Copies of this chain bind each other. A is one copy, B any other.
Amino acid sequence: MGLRENITNPFSKWMDGNAPEADVVISSRVRLARNLASFPFPHQLSKEKANEIIHALQLAINNKKTRAAVGPMELARLAELTPVERQILVEKHLISPDLLKTREEETRALVVSGDEIVSIMVNEEDHLRLQCLLPGLQLEEAARICALLDDALEQTLDYAFSEKLGYLTACPTNVGTGMRVSVMVHLPGLVINGGIKELLAFIPKVGLTVRGLYGEGTEAAGNLFQISNQVTLGRSEEEIVSGLGTVTEQVIARERQARQQLYRYRRDALEDRVWRAYGTLRYARLLTGDETMKLLSDVRLGVNLGFLKGPTPRLLNELIVLTRPAYITKMAGKDVPPAYRDSLRAKLVREKLKDLPE
């Protein structure tokens, strides 16, 4: 699948709802920061040098060993993509918003595999940011795939590495393994019962960060949170992955307990809330992005608790991405005012939800 078709198709492999612990964990991500020896870090990189890196990477991904490790990948320069296409890649979590935050679009590039499990940002904060994004709780598998890709690229590329410090990175917080790991979790139970406050206070104490995926803190739109590691230096890859994994298991247990208690003690109110959300999504003619996230969260909770059968977790994941502004704009074929976007968003959601079994 070419990159353009990837952008047009809202589905990414990470949206597959059929994955470990997918009732709470939407996706798992591992990201490795890598830089090439004898090149300045991107913020001091000339256009010519940046181009050299892009060329070197192009060769590296076409390398037989790389293709054997993670399958075919396609490289695109940022300048080849329209602003809407770039934004869609952000909304699909394949690149960071930071990759777009510059006027030097000619120095930047990205690589995406056909199933979108693997992506590489080129000349963002570091020369390379290798990413593996998988559905559900699969941190170890994501780390394994990242390591395969990393090893394959290293056959061709000369990484900046210090025996003492590990991989060298533009920002000192990434030095060492250069590894960032994160999970995207859906925590409606803890938000409804208030337990989220305790969690938000606890997680930083074990060296992790938690933030709303869209919006911040307890106001996180759609009750989606991202938990990630802060520290890389002085820890092994295995320690980083298992540390986040252990905390995630605890979060899963708390969230499931919260849901079960809500279902046991406030079942009528909970079912009412879920079905109203479903009814609104099925019939509303105007939906803002934030309201859509909130309603999708309620519907997902009903699906996970088993009393709402129509929408699949995969469809709900797709809808999160499909209803973000860039996708709507792409669907409209042009930039549209927010009010019209709300109308298009509602139409899109209606079409996706109609004819589902109830």
Contact = CB atoms under 8 A, between A and B. Distances in A.
A272 interface: yes
14 contacts: A268-B285, A268-B339, A269-B286, A272-B286, A275-B283, A275-B284, A275-B285, A276-B279, A276-B283, A276-B285, A278-B283, A279-B280, A279-B283, A279-B284
A72 to B, nearest CB: 44
A58 interface: no
Interface string A131-150: 00000000000000000000
Interface in A306-358: 339, 343, 346
B268 A343 contact: yes
Interface string A245-281: 0000000000000000000000011011001101111
A282 interface: yes
A343 B284 CA distance: 23
A303 to B, nearest CB: 14
Given A268-B285, A272-B284, A278-B283, 19 more contacts: A268-B339, A268-B343, A269-B286, A271-B285, A272-B285, A272-B346, A275-B283, A276-B280, A276-B283, A278-B279, A279-B279, A279-B280, A279-B281, A279-B282, A279-B283, A279-B284, A280-B280, A282-B282, A282-B283
Contacts of A283: 275-276, 278-279, 282
Contacts of A272: 284-286, 346
A284 B279 CA distance: 8
A269 B346 CA distance: 12
A108 B346 CA distance: 56
Contacts of A286: 268-269, 272
Contacts of A279: 276, 278-284
A348 to B, nearest CB: 15
Interface residues on A, range: 10 to 19
A275 B279 CA distance: 9
A328 to B, nearest CB: 15
Nearest to A283: B279
Nearest to A350: B275
Contacts of A282: 279, 282-283
A42 to B, nearest CB: 45
A276 B278 CA distance: 10
A343 B286 CA distance: 28
| Shortest 9 CB-CB contacts between residues of A and residues of B | A279-B279, A279-B283, A272-B285, A275-B283, A272-B286, A271-B285, A276-B284, A279-B280, A275-B285
Contacts of A339: 268
Contacts of A281: 279
A198 to B, nearest CB: 29
A192 to B, nearest CB: 16
Interface string A202-246: 000000000000000000000000000000000000000000000
A56 to B, nearest CB: 52
Contacts of A285: 268, 271-272, 275-276
A331 B109 CA distance: 67
Nearest to A267: B285
Nearest to A285: B272
Interface in A139-192: none
A270 B244 CA distance: 48
Residue from A269, A276, A280, A281 having most chain B Cβ neighbours under 10 A: A276
A339 B269 CA distance: 10
